[in-house]
Amino acid sequence: MRHVTALLCAGVVLLPLAVVAGERRSFRPGERWPDDQGVHINAHGGGILDFEGRYYWFGEHKVAGEIGNTAQVGVHCYSSADLYNWRDEGVVLPVVKEDPDHDIAVGSVIERPKVIRNPKTGKFVMWFHLERKGTGYRTARSGVAVADHVTGPYTYRGSFRPNAGVWPRNIRPEQKVTAEVAATHSFSGGDLPDDPDRLNLIARDHEGGQMARDQTLFVDDDGAAYHLYASEENSTLHISRLTDDYLAPAGDYVRVFPGRFMEAPAIFKHDGRYYFIGSGCTGWAPNAARSAVADSIWGPWEELGNPAVGPDGALTFHSQSTYVLAVRGRPGAFIFMGDRWRPKDAIDGRYIWLPIRFRNDRIEIEWAEDWDLGVFGGAESR
């Protein structure tokens, strides 16, 4: 809020008035979104933690140009009371500048950070997709960092491929072979063979841990937390329960959507059912979103098709999912959060936030140029 004192202008006294400097009262998907400093929000591939009456948005800090597709700065945090206006809380997990061999050195890839709070330890726990510098996307590991305060600083704990030595719940007996046997069919990218199980990636990676790229976290009503990650060369998603302190995989996981090449996972729960939104695998280019529903997080998951409807829905309004936000105090109100990537000038990536509608047992997302929380019905609590 900026106060403007009385002005004398051409002999006319203008009474003191209070103007609200740039205060936003709506979402304008795809437009630049200035923070409290007037700078476009820099939190790509992000997620939101709702904590003690404020929302905290964590995301990838990107810099200008193509180099911005690698981590040059770290994970950025913003906070907001109303979801429209965001305060810059700074970089809460910086990249390591002094040691070029560090996991999170400048030039590594730190993508899709998500933060949850552990009610038992009181710690804030961040998970992200990590690629070590110079490895392309071959590292495929999960990084974990922890903080005592929501806005950090976050201390890096290390990285790993999840679930080393653990078979998933829904493994079939014939899939339980050694890495040597599994390696008789190699994978060099592209589509999986017609019979995806001929390529037994779950067995190939059994010993060292499963590949983990695009990812998100989800805390269920009972406090159990889950890690969803694109695994097996992106071909299959894994849903993996975390330990009680949320710091590691608990060793209990399931393969879902085998051979469907889904990434950009987002998950939410409504009326006791679990809903999933993701995308296909086309790099930074947009594609048709996917959605699915299940009565248990362990599945079976039923695919519901592309939730993005209307003009441009086939390309998810030129965006890719990153998170679904449950709006506080408004049961049934969920916001789809997507990224409109700008890989040539990463810092200029835009945010596509749109309301989710439940219709005929499906979920739908429709384009809106300018909208506010009033679309969910009821009065807005501000």
Looking at the Cβ atoms of 233 and 263, the one nearer to ligand DGJ is 263
The Cα-based distances of 73 to 59, 138, 152 in angstroms read 11, 21, 15
Question: For ligand DGJ, which residue of 103, 214, 232, 364 counts as binding (CB under 6 A)?
Answer: 214
Distance in Å, CB of 97 to ligand DGJ, minimum: 23
Residue 330 beta carbon to ligand DGJ: minimum distance, rounded to whole angstroms: 28
Residue 8's DSSP bridge partners are 13
Q: How far is the CB of 40 from ligand DGJ (least distance, A)?
A: 19
* Residue least distant from ligand DGJ (Cβ): 283
Nearest to 103 by CA among 78, 140, 149, 69: 140
Residue from 119, 283, 300, 305 that binds ligand DGJ (CB under 6 A)?
A: 283
Query: What distance in Å separates the CA atoms of residue 26 and residue 11, rounded to the nearest whole number?
Result: 37
Secondary structure (DSSP) of 64-79: SSGGGGS-SSEEEEEE
Looking at the Cβ atoms of 263 and 364, the one nearer to ligand DGJ is 263
| By the rule CB under 6 A, 112 interacts with ligand DGJ | yes
Decide: is 260 part of the binding site for ligand DGJ (CB under 6 A).
no
Shortest Cβ 325–ligand DGJ spacing (Å): 18
Taking only Cα atoms into account, the Rg of the chain, rounded to an integer number of angstroms, comes to: 22
Choice from 128, 320, 333, 373 touching ligand DGJ (CB under 6 A): 320
- Extract long-range pairs of 141-145: CB within 8 Å, 24+ residues apart: 141/103, 141/212, 142/212, 142/215, 142/227, 142/229, 143/103, 143/104, 143/110, 144/247, 144/248, 145/75, 145/93
Cβ proximity to ligand DGJ: between 43 and 373 the closer is 43
Q: Does 233 bind ligand DGJ (CB under 6 A)?
A: no
The residue behind tokens 């501000």 is 382
Binding-site ranges for ligand DGJ (CB under 6 A): 45, 111-112, 214, 263-264, 283-284, 320
